[in-house]
Amino acid sequence: MTAVSAPSTGEGTAEDPGTQAQRRRTFAVISHPDAGKSTLTEALALHAEVISAAGAVHGKGGRKGVTSDWMDMERERGISVTSAVLQFAYRDQVINLLDTPGHGDFSEDTYRVLAAVDAAVMLLDAAKGLEPQTLKLFDVCRDRGVPVLTFVNKWDRPGREALELVDEVEQTIGLRPMPITWPVGIAGDLHGLVERADGTMHRFTRAAHGASKATSEVLEAERAAAEEGPDWERATEELALLDEIGAGFGSDEAMAAFHAGTATPVMFGSALSNIGVARLLDALVELAPPPGPRPDQKGEPRPVDAPFSGLVFKVQASMDKSHRDRVAFVRICSGRFERGMVLTHDATGRPFATKYAQAMFGRDRSTIEEAFPGDIVGLVNATALRPGDTLWAEEPVTFPTIPSFAPEHFAVCRVADMSKTKQFRKGIEQLDSEGVIQVLSSDLRGDQAPVLAAVGPLQFEVVSARLADEFGAPVKLDRLDYTLARRTDESGAAGLKGAVGIEVLTRRLDGELLALFPHKWRLQAVAQNNPDMLLAPLVADT
Ligand code: G4P
């Protein structure tokens, strides 16, 4: 299970980053928990023939897992805490699929992953439509200008009407739905899919519980009408309606709207039965954008064929107990990456040797020799690298850093056994730099009792478990009553000194001063009484 090598090209040279970028598709799946993201990931990989049988990716239900079940907590709770990367070949293209944790408490991690992709697949449960976590993640895609494809999953079991679902997408998130396939048969009684471009029907024979690819036969419209009767009639009527309202796909205008993030190609299927999954891969290859020029901090685009540049979007330690190390995941933005090349770490200006570059396939790793724009490289023992950092060669570039989410949960963290103070400090420092949690401190609280700030409370459990397991420093956490944070400055901090129920702390990672409030009413009152005080939201663009 190793990374695929780049397919050879007809034009240009195989090493030409511009040509190689054209054949990359780098994307993530966003969904509400239980919509079927793990199942779809397995099904995609199955179609791409990276793994021989579904079930090898996430290891649910006792199957062998190769991705993110690296922590006991994940196994116990059945949630995926860490993100994994899958790379596979499909139709002469190289697909990079970045996994995102489904649980809302880890949205910050998802946010970072979305900074590293060129497109996202929004996965909807046919019975539930748009769910809260999907909406939240979609907002991130919109903020970042990430084009979104929509896959309506679980059409093999009872659900809502297709028209109602596409209407919901339009009404709720204002994204123009442009179906490229349409179901024949209501949810729970799927016979096949109409291919809108040519009007044929792809009729499926269901695969046994996702164990192999579903087979399909292609029927011309006439035969489909004769054999499918009322179901076909209903599908064609619905399609005629879609044509009338101009929800078509295929024109240059439609492509531009999709790439601009104002329209979404919609497909239907069932990840579990492998229905519509190959169509989704085809759509990714045909419609999703390849890596393009990435704007730097000043808004100047770095072309894909410029010298090497990459963005660190994730840092993760101890993914596997047999490798007690720290991996920085780098999305290549431009140029050719060659193992061993010396890069510059933009934040420190120091050289960074890439001797230990790896391709990550879940838990499995293989040494990577070269990679191109859109690919993800894991740099092992990259202690200096932090999420949002830029690496470059030859021509300097600084990409905009990845903003942190606004924390809503706060707790004081103390070491349980004072003899482990050194380990505790080291652990806190490491988890802080990985971005597992935000660490805040003040002179008043001192070094021994930092305040941990989290987007979701499960992050506290991850921190406790890791401090105990990896650093041998069990901790006690005492929750604080604050629920929101605002960025302030020295004068704001001075103005808030002594204010009841409010505390100003310094975020260690970037030195930002954060004012913590118990609730929004307290914040509103303070803002009203001090109109000139800086009290800015933490993530500028959400
Ligand atoms: P997630 O990663 O988004 O959380 O979802 P996951 O793939 O784990 O899927 C959640 C549940 O939905 C699973 O059932 C899975 O089998 C089911 N599922 C996913 N895709 C489809 C589909 O196309 N059709 C149907 N009918 N079910 C689907 P489970 O019983 O919770 O887990 P498991 O024991 O089957 O693994």
Q: Which atom of ligand 1 is nearest to the CA of 123?
A: 3
Name the pTM for this structure: 0.82
CA-based nearest residue to 18, from 311, 289, 290: 290
Q: How far is CA 509 from CA 382, 443, 470, in A?
A: 17, 16, 21
- 41 marked as part of a ligand binding site: no
Q: Which atom of ligand 1 is nearest to the CA of 40?
A: 7
Could you give the dihedral angle defined by the CA atoms of residues 39, 44, 47 and 49, in that order, rounded to the nearest 10 degrees?
Answer: -100
- 427 marked as part of a ligand binding site: no
CA-based nearest residue to 452, from 423, 475, 422, 469: 475
SS3 content of the chain, % helix, strand, coil (to 5): 30, 30, 45
Q: Is the pLDDT of residue 469 over 50?
A: yes
Q: Is the pLDDT of residue 1 over 50?
A: no
527 — pLDDT class (breaks 50, 70, 90): very high
CA of residue 423 relative to chain centroid, distance: 32
CA atoms of 56 and 59, how far apart (whole Å): 6
Query: What residue ranges line ligand 1, CB within 6 angstroms?
Result: 31, 33-39, 60-61, 102, 153-154, 156-157, 270-272
**Cβ distance 399 to 334 under 8 Å?**
no
In this prediction, residue 137 carries a pLDDT of 84
7 — pLDDT class (breaks 50, 70, 90): very low
DSSP 8-state code for residue 542? -
Residue by residue, DSSP assigns 106-171 as GHHHHHHHHTT-SEEEEEEETTTBS-HHHHHHHHHHHHHT--EEEEEE-TTS----HHHHHHHHHH
CA atoms of 291 and 117, how far apart (whole Å): 8
Q: Assign residue 8 a region (left: φ > 0; alpha: ψ between -120 and 50; beta: otherwise).
A: beta
In this prediction, residue 63 carries a pLDDT of 35
- Measured in angstroms, how far is the CA atom of residue 153 from the centroid of ligand 1? 10
Centre a 10 Å sphere on the Cβ of residue 457 and count the other Cβ atoms it contains: 13
Among 106, 125, 272, which residue has the most ligand 1 atoms within 8 Å of its CB, making it the best to mutate?
272
Name the percent of the chain lying above pLDDT 90.
53
Check the CA dihedral 459-465-471-477 and report its sign: positive
pLDDT in tens, 234-274: 999 999 998 888 777 778 888 999 999 999 999 999 999 88
- Measured in angstroms, how far is the CA atom of residue 36 from the centroid of ligand 1? 5
Q: Is the pLDDT of residue 359 over 80?
A: no
